[in-house]
A = this chain, B = another copy of it.
C-alpha cells in the first residue's frame, strides 16, 4: 500500500516545494510593483555588485544562465530600470547599470525581503538556520554546482 517516506526520501520533494512556496510568496507581495522574483533578484544583486558589472558576472551572482539573464534584462531595460552600455575596452561585453528610476523600487524590494524573512524565520533559531544553510551548501557542492558566489572568488578554470 502506501509506503511512508523517511527523512532523506522526503528531502528532495520538500526542498522543491518550499522553494516554490517561497517564490510564490515573494511574487505575491511584489506583484503590485510589477516585479517577479527574477526581476527583483537581479536588481538586488546589481545594487550589490561593483559598478560596471558585465552580464556574465551578474548571471553568476544571480545564479542563472546567460540566456535567462538576457530576457530578464530585456524586461528591466524596457521598464527603464536598468541600462546596458557597451564598453570600449571590450566591445563584446555590456556593462549593466541601475538607472535612477530603480532607487524607489530597490527600497521596496529591501523592505519586502526583510518582511518575508521576518515572517519565515520568526520561530527558527539562528543555529537552525545556519545548520540548514550549511546542509544546502554541501548539497550544492555534491551536485557539482558550487554556488556561483563562491566560484567568483576562485576565478580560474
Contacts and interface: CB of A to CB of B under 8 A. Distances in A.
Interface in A87-127: 113, 116-117, 119-124, 126
A7 B126 contact: yes
A22 B18 contact: no
Contact of A153 (B5, B20, B48, B133): B5
Nearest to A121: B8
A contacts with B: majority SS: helix
Given A49-B2, A131-B131, A134-B128, A16 B22 contact: yes
A71 to B, nearest CB: 16
B136 A14 contact: yes
Given A5-B153, A117-B9, A24 B144 contact: yes
A50 B2 CA distance: 7
7 contacts: A7-B130, A10-B150, A15-B18, A16-B63, A17-B63, A18-B140, A19-B20
A23 B14 contact: no
Given A19-B15, A143-B18, A145-B17, A1 B128 contact: no
A143 B22 contact: yes
Given A4-B48, A7-B133, A131-B135, 19 more contacts: A1-B49, A1-B152, A3-B61, A4-B157, A7-B126, A7-B130, A9-B117, A14-B137, A14-B147, A16-B37, A16-B63, A17-B145, A19-B19, A21-B139, A24-B144, A24-B145, A25-B143, A120-B142, A129-B135
